[in-house]
Every structure is written in C-alpha cells, then in structure tokens.
Structure 1
C-alpha cells in the first residue's frame, strides 16, 4: 500500500436555514470535498460558500451526485430509468461546476451519494449510467466509488479514472460492502478506534468487518462523513493518526490553482 492517502468528506449538505455539519472545520482537515449538488441536499448559496472556502484552502472539489430526494437526504432507493439517471447526473455536475468556477475552482471528480452510491456499488445498470454521464460531461473527471464495486468496473469500462475509497466511520460486511444504516453498529463514533482502523487500512490494506472478519480493501481515499455525530473530532483524530504513522495526506487529484476571476463572495 502507498503511504499516501486522500481524506474526503461530504459537505454543503444544509438547505436554506437548516444547517448540517461544520463545513468550515472539516475543510481545514480534509483534502477533497464531496459537495452536494442540490438533489439530496444543498442550495445555491450554501454550495457557493463551500466552493469558495474550498478554493481558499486548496481543497479539491468533487460533485456529489444523488437521487432527487431532499426529504430523504438521498438515502432512499429510487427506481430511476438509466437514461433519465444519466441526464440527472449530468445536470448535477454542471450545476456545481458552474458555481465552483465562479469561485476560482472547478469540479475535478465525481462521487455518488447515499442510496445512489450503494445502488451503483452492486447494480451494473446504475453503475453504467453514472459512468456514462461523467464520460459525456468530461471524460477527464475521476469517479470515486467503493473499493471492489461495480461502479469502479463501470468507470474503467467508460474510460474514466476509477478511484477506490474506504469509509472511516462506517461498518463493512464480510463481502466488503457497507453495512446497512439500519443495523446496529453500522455507523462508528469512537475517534480513537476509527483512527486506528484507518492507519491499518492504509498500511496493511485491511479493515475489520462487522462480523469480526478481516476484509481486504485497497483505497486511495478515505471518507469521513460530515454529518456523522462528532465528525470534526473524528476527522481530526484520523488525520493526526495517519500523519503520526508517517502517511502523507494529499488529494488524489490536484485542485486547480486559485483563479484571478474568482468573485471572493461568500454566496451569503
């Protein structure tokens, strides 16, 4: 395993007057920001503010595309026709890319969210639709997905760079998939234990499954969910532990240099 890893987090997930997570604090800890695109969370003002702060810190901006499901936070399966899903993913990438460019950055990778992420991990048709949308929009954009998933197979088949990721704060099944959030213990909260499993993940390429077995996972990026209780403390503990183990933390793809055309607005 390489002693270099990216830290990513889901950000911009508030809506209107409703705030979720501490985007400012997380942007000081991660190297890549999976920014909501308005379908599962986020509104234009929030997304613009997050993109501006990410650009200021040199954090890579990725489009976190999802099902059209604000009420369910994108965590409910929706039976979308693959052709329609292609169009909806293109729409989301384009929306966030436009906002990011106003703030001197741009979308430089794509990662599905929630139920779409889980569906694309195991369903070939869903995975192919996501990959097709990205290839149509910009074939240079890497696609981030669960290590060993159908999504990464589809990414490679579409000529995209496939970036495998693992999750710091989520339990795994023995098959290497994420345990359902409905199961006890599916979401982890102990910063010390989470940090230790992340060091093991990078150095040994394994992670413990929910049944106690050891699962091989080769990942270039580690996700710490921004909406998990104690997310900032978890991300800080993970970063300290990785750096303490001599592991370099950097984005898997370099963010663009600050642009002189950036508005500098907070998008308030």
Structure 2
C-alpha cells in the first residue's frame, strides 16, 4: 500500500510539519496550493524535495481559509468549486514545471474533502473540473477520495466523467461504522498513540479497520494517509514503512 502525506502546509515564517524528515518515507505528497496553507516559495521547496526523493506529487486544494486551515466549509456555487480546484491545481502544476515534474492527482483538503464525500453537487463540480483539465493533459489526473463501506455512488460519478479514483484510508483517524472519519470535534477522533497508529496502519493494509465502537469494518484502499500536522503520526511513518516492507 502506498503511503501519502499532506505536505507544504507552512506559510511564510509559520511552520507546519517536518516535510524534509517525512519525504524519504512516503510515496505520494499532497502539496498545499496556497488557499488553506502554503505560498509560492513553500510550494517550490516542497516540490523540489518530492522530486529529489522520487515521490509522486498531488495537488491538495482547499477552501480559501488560512485562518481556519481549510477546515471550515464555505458555501460555493458549482462553478466556483470548479474554478478554485482548477486554479490551485494549475498553480502547483506551474511550480512543478519549474522543477521538471508534474501533478499526478488531486486530493481536496479538509472541509472541501468532506464536502465532496457528502455532497454530490460538490463532487460533480470537482469531477467536471478535472475532466476538463484532463482533456488538455497527456497523463490524466486521478482524484483521491475516502474509501468507505460503499463507494458505488462515487465510482459511478467518476466513471461518467472518466476520472480515475484513488481510494485512501487514514492511519491516525478514527472511523465510524459506515467508513466515515469521526469528526475532529469528537473525543478519540484523532489517534495520538504511536502504537495505535501503527496498529491501524497494518490493519488497513490487510483490508479492514476497527471502528471507534469496536466493530471490524472491511475497507479496501489504494493508499494510506498519515497527517503531516500530527507530530505523533510523523514519528510513526518510518515504522509504518518498515513494517509494510517486511
């Protein structure tokens, strides 16, 4: 299973995460595009680091909400959603071109990610934007989404737009019985224990996860996310990589 991490989420002199320490251990970097975090200089530094470590680059667009770190849902028309996804993905693509790289996929950030999973109109807008961008690309962009108990609706919409999906799971987030992430506002939503994160990572690699209530849920995923803003999970990335290569 590929490891992915949210990266490049610093902004000016404000630092978030430890990208240089994390990059050698991951396969895919979800790089912030300037709306919820980052700036052109941080984007460039992160892209250069990813390319140096042969890490696949993904755009991590979010709502224009640096004070809320993109975790607050902001109402947008479908057209506005299409524009913000295209704008941010295009900005990262241009930075990638400076370094001889390219964007391979899109993983919406924070509230935008949750909105696409719960609101078909948001997902439709994102897929429409990506389908239009893909018509101009030699290598089409894939969309990274949350693997749930039932992915049939998302799969059908993605097929309609001819957009490939990458299903992800989370090593450091609690799940409910439907395969949804437990809201960060709820107790126990984010795992902070090294052993718990490692245990869940290995469990997900085997195709299942234990929910917050203790139920075993079958869950198939292409890639595993460890959040770059969670110090405990960053410290566990190397152990997850080593365990998955045994």
Q: Name the TM tier (shorter chain).
A: over 0.9
Q: Which runs of 4+ in 1 moved over 6 A?
A: none
- Confirm or deny: 8 A CA contact 2:172 2:200 kept in the other structure: no
Q: How does 1:194-233 map to 2 (within 5 A)?
A: 194-203=197-206, 205-233=207-235
Aligned to 1:141: 141
How many Å separate the matches in 1 of 2:160 and 2:225? 24
- Confirm or deny: 8 A CA contact 2:227 2:234 kept in the other structure: no
Q: Does residue 1:8 correspond to 2:10, yes or no? A: no
Instruction: State the TM-score, normalizing by the size of structure 2.
Output: 0.94
- Choose which of 74, 79, 86 in structure 1 pairs with 2:82: 86
Aligned to 1:124: 120
How many Å separate the matches in 2 of 1:210 and 1:27? 30
How many Å separate the matches in 1 of 2:233 and 2:15? 14
- Choose which of 59, 62, 67 in structure 2 pairs with 1:66: 62
Q: CA deviation at 1:156?
A: 2.7
Instruction: State the TM-score, normalizing by the size of structure 1.
Output: 0.86
Q: CA deviation at 1:101?
A: 1.2
Q: How does 1:109-258 map to 2 (within 5 A)?
A: 109-138=105-134, 140-148=140-148, 149=151, 151-203=154-206, 205-244=207-246
How many Å separate the matches in 1 of 2:128 and 2:55? 26
Q: How many residues align?
A: 239
- Confirm or deny: 8 A CA contact 1:144 1:152 kept in the other structure: no
Q: CA deviation at 1:193?
A: 2.1
Q: CA deviation at 1:154?
A: 3.0
Name the structure with the higher helix share. Answer: 2
Q: CA deviation at 1:77?
A: 0.7
How many Å separate the matches in 1 of 2:157 and 2:184? 25
Aligned to 1:251: none
Superposed CA RMSD in Å reads: 1.3
Q: Deviations over 1:194-239 (max 9, x none)?
A: 2122222122x11011111112210000000000122321211211
> Structure 1: 5+ residue runs without aligned partners?
245-268
Partner SS for 2:126: helix
> Structure 2: 5+ residue runs without aligned partners?
none
